[in-house]
Amino acid sequence: MKTIIIFLFLVPFLTFSQNKSLTYTESSNGLNYPEWDGGNSELEFADMNGDGFVDIVSVGDHGNPYINTAQHGIMVYFNDGAGSWSVQMTGNFGYGGIAIGDVNNDGLWDAGYGIHHNYSSNDLGDQILEVALGDETGVNWTAWDDGLATNGEDWGMFGTDFADIDNDGDLDVGSVSFGSGAGVHVYANQMDGSWIQTFGFLGGNAADRFVFGDINNDGNSDFIVAHQYGAVYFGDGTGNFINADGNLPGSGYYFGPSLGDIDNDGDKDIAFVLNDIEVWGWDQDNEVWIDMSGNLTGTSQFSETQLYDMNADGYMDLSAFGNEVFKLWLGDGTGNWSEETQFNTTGISTCQAFRVGGDVDHNGYPDIVLMAEGGSWPSWQNYLRCYKETSESDSLFIKGLFPKGNETFYQNSVHFIDWVSEVPASENSFVKIEFSFYGISGPWNLVADNLPNSGRYQWTIPNTGSENCYLKFTVTTVNDTTSSISDMPFTIFGDEVFLADFVADTTYGIAPLEVHFTDLSIGLINIWIWDFNGDGIFDSFIQNPIWIYDNPGSYNVTLIVSDGANADTTTKENYINVVLTGNQNLEAEPSDHLSLFPNPFSEKANIAFSILSDQEVTIQIYNLQAKEISTILLPTKLFKGSHKIDWYGNDNEGNKLQSGIYVLKFQTGNSIITRKLIIQ
C-alpha cells in the first residue's frame, strides 16, 4: 500500500505569430445574385450545411420577397471554401434581421428572424417574429414558432438574436422592432415548438439591432439594443430584464451596437455610434460604466461597429463601417486603440448590414461581410460584399476565441464555443473540443469530436462547478494534428468539484480504494483514474458509486482497474490522478435532463426537466442525514418532452424549510439525477 499524490500533465501551448499586418481583398464572386433592393438588413456567418465552411445567411432587405428583386425567404449563400458563393432561398417572406442557433438541441442549426413582410400564406413566414428548424441543408425549414409575435407586435420586427436567458439548457429569442411602435420582445423556448414572452414593451423608435451577451458577468444573459427607451438591459436569469444605461452618454438610441470583452475580465463591453464611435466597459465592482473610447475621435462617418479578435492575439479589436470606409483598430486590452488598416467600398456608401467573424477560407483570420447602398433615389440599390484577410494558409493552427477566460456560466445552460483555425489549402479538417474543470493540465473530458471546422459549436455547460475551467481545441487533417488551450480559466456555477488523496493497491485488477475527502461533499460521487500508461484515456472507473451526506472523511469503495495491453507497469504510478466530481448523473445515453434555478433561492426554485418517453417521474428532497423531507407532487404519468414546475421550499406538511443545504433527487425509468440545493 502506498499513498499516491496528484500529478499534473503539462500540455504544451501552440504558438502562432500575430505580428503581421492585416489586409483584406474582396471575395464576392456569386454575391451579385439576386440583385438587392434597398433598406437595412442583417447578416450572419454560419456553416449551414455542415461542410466546415462558413456560409452567409440573411432574410434580405426591402425587396424581400419579390419586390424589385428575386429575393425570397431565408437566404443562404453557400461558401465553396475559396470565397465563392451560391445562393439558395426558401420561403415567401423577408426584410429583417436573423439569428442562427440550435433551438431544439438536435445538433443542427436553426434560424430566428424578425421580419417586416409576413406575406406568406403558410406557417413559414406568416408572423413578424419566427423561428424555423433547419435540417443541415440550408434549404429545408420547418416553422417552430407558436406563441411568437403575440404581444402587440403589429408592425415589423427586425434585429434578432438567440441566448439561453433562463439557463435551462435551450436557446431563447429576442428581437427589436423595425422603426417605431412594436418595441422590444424576449420569448422563452418551451422546447415543443411554442414560446412564452418573459419580457417586452411596445412603443419608441428603434434602429434595427439587438444583441445578447453577459455584460455584467453574473452568468445571466443581458442584451444591448438600438432603441429610444434604452440601450443596455441586464437579465436576472429568469427571463426578466431591467435597464442599465446608468451613466452612458446620450439617450440610449445608439446605432450599430456590438459586444465584446475588451479588457479580458469576463464581461461583454459595448461599442456603438453616437456622434463618434463610443466604447464603454462595465465596472463590476463599482457598478458604473467606464469610458474606453481612448483615441476614437473623428469617427462620425461610421454607422456600424463590430467587436471581434481579428488577429487572434487574445485581445478584442474594433471594426467599423460607413460612408464607403471600413476601418480596423487593434485593441491592447486596456482601451487603447491603434489603427491597423482600412479600405474603401467605392460607390457603395450607406451601411445597411455589417458582420465580422467568419473565416471563409481557413487562413486563421476572421473575415468581413457587409451590405451598402449605391446610387441615388429612385435608382439606388444595395450591394452585398465579402472581404477576406489575405494571409496564405500554409500551416495547421487552431485557437479558441470564446470562452477566452474569466467568464461565468451556470451549469446546464447553453452557450456558443468559438474558434479560428488555419488549415493548409485543400485539406479537410476536423475539430475536437475537450473540457477540464481542474486546471490547464487536465484531466480532459470530451465535449465533442469530429466537428466540421466551421468555428462554432453550441455547448451545454456540464454539471460541474469550478473556478478553474479550460477548453482544449485539437484540429486534425490527414497529414497533421495540433492543439491549443484557452488562455485563462473560466468559472461554472454548479456542483462543486473535489480532489482527494487516496491509498490503493496499484496492481491491475480489482483494487480497494480509500478516499480522503478534503471538502464537504453532497450527493453522488463518481471516480475516474487518469491514464495509467499516458495514452490520454481514462483507464479505470468505480464499481459502485457512493453517497456522501455528511462531513469530510474517509470512505472505502471498490475500483475496477482496466487498461489495455500496452500498459507500462513500471511508470503507471506517475500518471495516477483521482478526480471526484460531486453530484454526477447515473444516466443512460441518451439521457433525461434536469436543471434547477435559481440556486441558492429564498422564495421559490424553478425545476425544469425533460424526459425521453412518457413515464412516471418522482422528485424528492433529502436533508444531509439522507432523510426524505419532501416529495414534489406530479401527475401519475408525464408525457415525453420538457416540463417546468415551481417549488417553494416546503416539507411534506407544508412548512417552510429552514435555510441550509439539501439534496434533490430526480428519478425516472431512465435516470437518477441529483442536485445540491441551497435554501437561503
Of the two residues 261 and 514, the one the predictor is more confident about is: 261
Residue 586, pLDDT score: 26
Residue 494, pLDDT score: 75
Instruction: Give the pLDDT band (50/70/90) at residue 383.
Output: very high
Of the two residues 569 and 272, the one the predictor is more confident about is: 272
Structure confidence by residue, pLDDT tens digits, 192-243: 999 999 999 999 999 999 999 999 999 999 999 999 999 999 999 999 999 9
Structure confidence by residue, pLDDT tens digits, 425-435: 878 999 999 99
E strand or H helix at 172, and its extent?
strand 172-177
Alpha-carbon distance 254 to 194, whole Å? Answer: 32
* pLDDT for 272 beyond 60: yes
Q: Which residues contact 15 (CB under 8 A, 6 or more apart)?
A: none
> HEC profile for 423-472?
CCCCCCCEEEEEEECCCCCCCCEEEEEEEECCCEEEEECCCCEEEEEEEE
85-90, strands of its sheet edge to edge: 44-46, 55-58, 74-79, 85-90
Q: In this structure, are strands 408-410 and 490-493 parallel, antiparallel, or unpaired? A: parallel
Amino acid symbol at 507: T
CA 387 to chain centroid: 25
Structure confidence by residue, pLDDT tens digits, 310-326: 999 999 999 999 999 99
Residue 640, pLDDT score: 78
Of the two residues 472 and 680, the one the predictor is more confident about is: 472
Q: Of 346, 345, 311, give the one whose Cα is nearest residue 329.
A: 311
Cα–Cα distances (Å) from 539 to 70, 405, 515, 535, in that order, read 59, 30, 18, 9
Average pLDDT, stretch 391-405?
95
Q: In this structure, are strands 671-679 and 586-587 parallel, antiparallel, or unpaired? A: antiparallel
Residue 663, pLDDT score: 77
Q: What is the pTM of this model?
A: 0.77
Neighbour-count burial for 105-141, b at 16+ CB within 10 Å, e otherwise: beeebbbbbbbbbbbbeeebbbbbbbbbbbebebeeb
* pLDDT for 541 beyond 70: no
Place of cell 446608468: 246
Q: Which residues contact 477 (CB under 8 A, 6 or more apart)?
A: 396, 423, 424, 427, 428, 429
* pLDDT for 62 beyond 80: yes
Q: Which three cell numbers stand for residue 421?
A: 483555425
Average pLDDT, stretch 379-383?
90
Structure confidence by residue, pLDDT tens digits, 436-457: 887 888 778 889 999 999 999 9
Residue 88, pLDDT score: 98
- Cβ–Cβ under 8 Å, residues 306 and 334: no
